[in-house]
Amino acid sequence: MKISLRWLRELVDTDLDGAAIAKLLTMAGLEVESRTVFGGFSGVIVAEVRGKKPHPNSNKLTLVDVWDGREVTQVVCGAPNVPEPNGERGAQARLVLWARPGATLPNGMTLAPKEVRGVMSPGMLCAEDELGFGEGHDGILIFSGDEELRPGDDVASKLNLPDEILEVNVTPNRADCLGHVGIARDLAALLGKKLKVSPHPNDTAQTGAAKVVIEDAEGCPHYSAQIIEGMQVLPSPLMLRLRLQSLGVRPISNVVDATNLAWLELGQPVHAFDYDKLAGQMIVVRRAKAGETIETLDKQTRVLTDEDLVIADRDKPVAIAGVMGGASSEVTAQTRRVLLEVAYFNPARVRRTSARLGLHTEASHRFERGCDPNIVAHVSDVTTPRIGRPAGMRTDVYPKKISPRTIALRPARTESLLGCEIPTARQREWLSRIGLTVSGSSDKLDVTVPTYRPDLEREIDLIEEIARLEGYEKIPVTVPRLQVVPEPMESSTSERVRDLCAGLGLDEIVTYGFVSPKQIAALGFPNDTPEARPIRIANPIREEQSVMRTTLMVGQLLTLERNQKRGASDVRIFEVGQRFLPSAQKDAVLPTERRMLTATLAGRNGGWLKPGAELDFFDVKGLVEELLDSLGHSAQFVQPQDETVSWLHPRIFARIEIGDLFVGVIGEVHSRVLKHFEIEGRAFAFEIDLDSIHVAPPAVSQDLPRFPAVTRDLSFFIDAEVSAQKIRQTFQTIVDPLCREVRVIEDYREAGKVPTGKKGMLWSFTYRAPDRTLTDAEVQAAHDKLVGKLKETLVVELR
């Protein structure tokens, strides 16, 4: 919310400068995010256009005679909208702003007399952007003389410029601070000053000139309508226009500007209907009929549901209550009578309609946070004379009276919660300064909260107010006694894995848990798998982040693509994070969360063994072996014949297993998937479910061998299809305590040396006993057993 310092000073007497006020508000929970100067110029005066003629050397320029109250001077002007000295609106609008030589503009420029196409110009006539008032540069600023400004007046001193604009970050609970008076109330409280506003009584119902029917009192507890006549739709006086512009609101006309002033001042949205365009000259507040449509002020046709609250005339909706007015009853230059609506709408209903329509306005922003239901009459009464004359009495329909609530506060509770002494009198003082009424004794106060503070509902809320106003920085500092709890096992696993991956040369990334359903679909999971059915977020901010990831691959591929687009093609990334799968149990409330390690590699191999070579499957497989080995597991890579992984190449992939346990997959990313993510070249990936593996306990030290080992080799031909893994498994079925190590030494397949379809292998076996030197016979016996087992299980040809 933009707040004018000048306006604040009109509401609270203070000599403090902008920086000091910003600090006070910030420390009290109204964070001032920025301060900017508005109207920082000097030497600009009001001048009246007395004559004009074309520039002799240019048809785009005009020579304008301006009068500064004493004499007439000729100024060159390039704007197309120089007013006619004797034009139709006459003296009504021929005042302009003249920056004379010596004037300084907000951009720092100081004006000097200047020749423009052969004619001297003493300064210039200003457009609004040149004075920092707004963006407009279509022409010079023109205004009429029926206000305080006279030719010759210095604009800055007359309009009390420059002003300072504070951008205040109002938290959602502080609906009362969405207007200047609310902020000023807190500032006055902090300074111990009086808030300069006239008090008004709480609202009551009354019957006036306008005909109003409320059919949905739950949606609209309070509605007031005032008919206003005797008005002319004109631009507002310059001072008001600038006040609106300084707060980022575009001036439109005196009627619209007056409605905007109401929310800027009191936080209460107000709407003006062209009374003569309301069919039946009546207002009906009701639920929309399903499918009913309305063209809103932004020229969009909106389809409504019966959940939406509308303001209707006899025939049709003329506004979406609390959100936006309708085009059919918009105030125009021809409007002669206005029906001024000031109302209190149900915050939840406004929020739902605004969210459903994606229509967020200044009005909905305030109504959905909660306006003051008892300020309605006051706002109507101050706004009406800014527009015209009241035609009869205001109609107030107030079917659901909302009264101030009373909350009990124990001053001792305040002290025990805040951990410091705050005398009861001081607690009372703070609460009354923000407009609360306090009575009762010192062990229990009865605090009545005005309806402009719907956020104060409980004792704790009052304590918060006291803490905030007293100042959090005044609460003494004590160091709490804390108990140290060991780090949970699962987080230390993740840490280990991260360190290991980084040590293996991978770069860690962090990506979002919310992803696009389209990207999940692009991975092609079969429909019956949980991965294909991601959990949808209840209120997604945008469709691209509307479901929870069922795989970390989406983030991996998006990151790979982003890196490639930015020119980094050698990418080796990993992420450790949760994935979220719909629970297999029907009545489960929560999804199944699994901690995953997922990595993707593309480009060239970074290793020193074969630098510059393109990555292949075996590089990545080696990485996984290394990683799991470091965690105390030996990985097996199983290539099932009858199974595929939707996002991996149908043949270049494997299941990663530890013992009997399936822990992940590895492979080349499917070209169809790469194409969807616009990734160049090949990419390899693996994912491991970290929740399914445990980190092996620390190794237990063994005595070093004191007796020599004996090595036996075994050379054979075997079917090329039989993997080393399979052969090793065969040896492992014989558990011979003497056999300490089994290794592959050679695997050769050169034609001519090996029978067709076979491969030659050389394996080495190490035998040792812990307590003696083995005899030849002992070694031979153990070795024969292994060889026997091999021949019995697989077809081998010993050499």
Partner 1 sequence: MSCVFCVGKGSVNGALCRTCKGSGWIEIGGAGMVDPTVFGHVDYDSERYTGFAFGMGIERMAMLRYRVNDIKLFYEGDVRFVRQFR
User: Which stretches of 374-448 are DSSP H helices?
Assistant: 376-387, 411-418, 424-433
Cα 306 to Cα 220, 235, 283, 325, 705: the distances in Å are 15, 38, 18, 18, 85
**Minimum distance from residue 34 beta carbon to partner 1 (Å):** 6
Q: Which of residues 569-608 bind partner 1 (CB under 8 A)?
A: 571-573
Query: Which of 474, 562, 743, 799 lies at the binding interface for partner 1 (CB under 8 A)?
Result: 562
State how far the Cα of 174 lies from the Cα of 160, in Å rounded to an integer: 30
Burial class (CB in 10 A: 0-12, 13-18, 19+), 528: exposed
When asked if residue 542 is in the footprint of partner 1 (CB under 8 A), the reply is: no
**Minimum distance from residue 460 beta carbon to partner 1 (Å):** 6
Q: Which is nearer to partner 1, 392 or 505 (CB)?
A: 505
State how far the Cα of 268 lies from the Cα of 186, in Å rounded to an integer: 18
Stretches 205-213, 536-544, 561-569, 585-593: which one binds partner 1 (CB under 8 A)?
561-569
Q: Which of residues 452-491 bind partner 1 (CB under 8 A)?
A: 458, 460, 480
Q: Which is nearer to partner 1, 172 or 385 (CB)?
A: 172
- Sequence-ordered list of residues with C-beta below 8 angstroms from that of 300, at least 6 positions apart, any chain: none
Q: Which is nearer to partner 1, 118 or 606 (CB)?
A: 606
**Minimum distance from residue 742 beta carbon to partner 1 (Å):** 37
Task: Decide if 77 contacts 124 (C-beta within 8 A).
Answer: yes
Cα 554 to Cα 316, 524, 572, 785: the distances in Å are 48, 12, 15, 51
Burial class (CB in 10 A: 0-12, 13-18, 19+), 589: exposed
**Minimum distance from residue 556 beta carbon to partner 1 (Å):** 9
The HSE-up count of residue 324 (CA atoms within 13 Å, CB side) is 21
When asked if residue 299 is in the footprint of partner 1 (CB under 8 A), the reply is: no
Q: Which of residues 386-445 bind partner 1 (CB under 8 A)?
A: 416-417
Q: Which is nearer to partner 1, 50 or 604 (CB)?
A: 604
**Minimum distance from residue 719 beta carbon to partner 1 (Å):** 43
Stretches 4-12, 27-35, 212-220, 340-348: which one binds partner 1 (CB under 8 A)?
27-35
State how far the Cα of 754 lies from the Cα of 751, in Å rounded to an integer: 6
Cα 171 to Cα 26, 176, 418: the distances in Å are 12, 10, 22
Stretches 28-36, 447-455, 521-529, 744-752: which one binds partner 1 (CB under 8 A)?
28-36
When asked if residue 502 is in the footprint of partner 1 (CB under 8 A), the reply is: yes
When asked if residue 516 is in the footprint of partner 1 (CB under 8 A), the reply is: no
**Minimum distance from residue 463 beta carbon to partner 1 (Å):** 9
**Minimum distance from residue 412 beta carbon to partner 1 (Å):** 12
Query: Which of 103, 156, 497, 509 lies at the binding interface for partner 1 (CB under 8 A)?
Result: 509
Long-range Cβ pairs for the range 31-35 (8 Å, 24+): 31/168, 31/169, 32/166, 32/167, 32/168, 32/169, 33/167, 33/168, 33/169, 34/166, 34/167, 35/164, 35/165, 35/166, 35/167
Interface with partner 1 (CB under 8 A), residue total 24
Q: Which of residues 108-127 bind partner 1 (CB under 8 A)?
A: none
**Minimum distance from residue 30 beta carbon to partner 1 (Å):** 14
State how far the Cα of 159 lies from the Cα of 18, in Å rounded to an integer: 18
Q: Which is nearer to partner 1, 277 or 549 (CB)?
A: 549
Q: How far apart are the first and last CA of the chain?
A: 88
Cα 180 to Cα 264, 271, 293, 509: the distances in Å are 6, 19, 35, 45
Query: Which of 408, 412, 568, 781 lies at the binding interface for partner 1 (CB under 8 A)?
Result: 568
Q: Which is nearer to partner 1, 27 or 191 (CB)?
A: 27
Residues that bind partner 1 (CB under 8 A): 32-34, 416-417, 458, 460, 480, 502, 507-512, 555, 559, 562-563, 566, 568, 571-573
